[in-house]
Amino acid sequence: MATNISQICKVFGDYVVSSENQLTSIAQRVCYEQDTSTSRRAILAELSKLNGLTMAHRHEVAYKIVSDNIKVDIIFSLLGEERALWVCSILLPNLNVYQGCK
């Protein structure tokens, strides 16, 4: 009888650990989706501040930025003209937009 109870406890313990791992995974995915949604909105807001970008340009560059976590970090690190030049370099990768910059 003690062996049966021990086996039941082990099965239940394994189930609890498995459930906890699954719940943790689900929670991480929900938080990730919330974070990326917030980032997308913030990036679009920042891009709308740049003069000369059409709506199509904003959408194109936003897609390219949010598809790469490093680019998300970069856009929030840059200010003013530097940010505008970086966005142009994404939109026009074959054009040297930094020519003449220091």
Q: Give per-residue pLDDT as tens, 31-73.
A: 655 566 787 888 888 888 888 888 898 888 888 888 888 888 8
What is the residue range of 66's domain?
Answer: 2-91
How many separate domains does the chain show?
1
Q: What angle do CA 28, 31, 37 make, to 5 degrees?
A: 140
Q: Which residue has the tokens 């929670």?
A: 27
| Structure-model confidence comparison of residues 28 and 71, the more confident one | 71
Residue 77 in domain: yes
| Structure-model confidence comparison of residues 80 and 12, the more confident one | 80
Give the three-state DSSP class for 78. Answer: coil
Predicted local distance difference test score (pLDDT) of residue 40: 82
Residue 39 in domain: yes
Residue 33 in domain: yes
Residue 50 in domain: yes
Predicted local distance difference test score (pLDDT) of residue 2: 60
Q: Which residue has the tokens 């313990």?
A: 13
Predicted local distance difference test score (pLDDT) of residue 69: 82
CA atoms 25, 30, 36, 42: torsion sign: negative
**Entry pTM:** 0.56
Average pLDDT score over the chain: 77
The yes-or-no verdict on residue 12 having pLDDT over 70 is no
